[in-house]
A and B are shown apart, each in its own frame.
Chain A
Amino acid sequence: MIVAPPRYEPGFNGPEKTQLEEWLDYHRATLLMKCEGLSVEQLATASVPPSTLTLLGLLRHMTIVEQYWFHKIFADEDVVPAYDSPDDPDTEFNDLTGATLDEVERNFLEVCARSRDIVEGSDLFSLARAARPATPIDLRWICVHMIEEYARHNGHADLLRECIDGATGD
C-alpha cells in the first residue's frame, strides 16, 4: 500500500521560485494521499465510468509527465520513460499490470526527486534545452504548467477516491 509523505502548505509570501517549488511538492504529495491506504485492485478501478481514469493510472501518468517536462524537455537528459509501449501511447493509463505497486511508488518518488534537483539548480528564466528555438519554453512556464496539471488530475483523483471508499478532503 502507498504511504503518503508529509505534506506542507506552501508559504504565503515567499519569492516566486520558492512558491512554485512548494506548490509542486504540495500537489505531488496530494496525489499520493489520494492513493494512500487502498489495495492494488482499488487503485486500478475505473470508479467513475465512462471515464477510464484510475488512481494508479494517474500516478503512472504523472511519473512520465515529470520525466518529459523536467528531465527531457528542460534538462535534455536521455530519458527512458518509466511506462512506454510502441503499441499504445497511453500505456501508462491502460496497462496497469506491468509494474508492481511498490515499483510505481518508487518510480514516482525517484523521478520527482530528480525533477526537484533540476529545478533547484536553474532559474525560472532558463530556457528548455530540448525545445525548438522557434518556440522557446522557460522553466517558469513548465513549473506553473506542472502545478495546474497536477491540480487538475488531483481533481480527478478526488472523485475517483470518493467513489471508491467515500474518502474526501483537500
Chain B
Amino acid sequence: MQEPDRHEPPNAGAERELLETFLDYYRGTLLVKCAGLDEEQLRTRACEPSTLTLLGLVRHMTNVEQNWFQWRFLGRDVDFVYAGERDRDREFNDLDSVSSDHVERDFLAVCEQSRAIGGAHDLDQFERRSNDEWRVNLRWIYVHLIEEYARHCGHADLLRERLDGATGD
C-alpha cells in the first residue's frame, strides 16, 4: 500500500471543514500505518491474543464507511465490499480473498463516495434509516467515524510497531 498525502486539520474554523478534514486525516493515517509492508505482514496477528490485523482494519473501515454513509444515512441498498452471511466479522477474518492492492482500491473508492455524500448534506440532517430508537444526524456520523478511525489507528499503531518497530502519529 502507498503512503497517502495527509493534511493537518486547520486549528480554527467552521464545523464542517473541521469534521471533514479530521476524518480525512484519519483515513490517511490508517493507510500510513499500512504503507510499505508486504502481504504477509499486513495479514499478521501481531498482537495476540488479539485477532486484529492491519489489512483487517482497512477492510473493516471500508464496510463501516459503506454502512454509515450509504446504508444508514442515504438509506440505499448496499452491496457491501466484505459482506459475510456466515461470518459476521468476515472483513477481519477472511483475509486471503483479495490482495492488498485490491483492498486499498476499494477503500479509497468507498471513502470517495462517503466524501461526496457527506459534502452534499446538512450536518443536522437525519439518516434515512432513522427510527424511534435511532435518530442519528450527519454530525453524529462524522464525529463517530473520527473516533472510530482514531481508536482503530491506536490498534494499528501497536500492530505496526510489533511488525517492524515503526512508530509515529
List the interface of chain A (C-beta within 8 A of B): 10-13, 16, 19-20, 23, 27, 48, 50-51, 53, 124, 127, 131, 135-138, 140-141, 144, 147-159, 162-163, 166, 168
* Chain A residues with CB under 8 A of B149: 148
> Which one of B18, B144, B158 lies within 8 Å of A144 (CB-CB)?
B18
Query: Count the B residues whose beta carbon is within 8 Å of the partner chain — how many?
Result: 41
Closest to B26 in A: A148
Given A140-B18, A141-B18; A151-B147 close (CB under 8 Å): yes
Q: Known interface pairs A19-B140, A152-B154, A155-B151. Does A147 touch B9 (Cβ–Cβ under 8 Å)?
A: no
A152 touches B13 (CB 8 A): no
By a CB distance below 8 angstroms, the chain B residues around A155 are: 150-158
Residues of A within 8 A of B147 (CB): 23, 27, 147-148, 150-151
Please report B residues at the A interface, Cβ cutoff 8 Å: 9-13, 15, 18-19, 22, 26, 47, 49-50, 52, 123, 126, 134-137, 139-140, 143-144, 146-158, 161-162, 165, 167
A152-B150, A154-B151, A163-B49 in contact; A13/B135 too (CB < 8 A)?
Answer: yes
Q: Tell whether, in the assembled complex, residue B150 and residue A127 are in contact, meaning their CB atoms are under 8 Å apart.
A: no
Tell me whether A12 and B140 are in contact in the complex, defined as CB-CB below 8 angstroms, given that A136-B11, A140-B12 are known contacts: yes
A48 touches which one: B137, B140, B162 (CB < 8 A)? B162
Q: A137 to B12, Cβ gap below 8 A? A: yes
Contacts of A23 in B (CB 8 A): 143, 147
**Residue in chain B with minimal CB distance to A135:** B11
Cβ-defined partner of A13 (8 Å) among B136, B144, B155: B136
Complex alpha-carbon distance, A11 and B157, angstroms: 29
**11 sample A-B contacts, Cβ–Cβ < 8 Å, listed by A number:** A12-B136, A20-B143, A50-B162, A51-B161, A136-B11, A147-B143, A153-B154, A155-B152, A155-B154, A155-B156, A166-B49
Residues of B with C-beta under 8 A to A150: 147
Known: A155-B150, A156-B158. A10 touches B140 (CB 8 A): yes
A136 to B152, CA, bound (A): 30
A140 contact from B15, B123, B150, B165, Cβ within 8 A = B15
Give Cα distance in the complex from A13 to B142, angstroms.
12
Residue in contact with A138 in the complex, picked from B13, B150, B154, CB distance below 8 Å? B13
Chain A residues with CB under 8 Å of B157's CB are 51, 152, 155-156
The 9 closest A-B pairs by CB, nearest first: A155-B154, A151-B150, A138-B12, A151-B147, A148-B150, A155-B151, A152-B154, A152-B150, A151-B151
Q: Who on chain A is nearest to B159 by CB?
A: A159
Q: What's the least CB distance linking A23 to chain B, in Å?
A: 6
The residues of A that contact B12 with a CB separation of less than 8 Å are 127, 136-138, 140-141
Q: Which residue of B lies closest to A131 (CB)?
A: B11
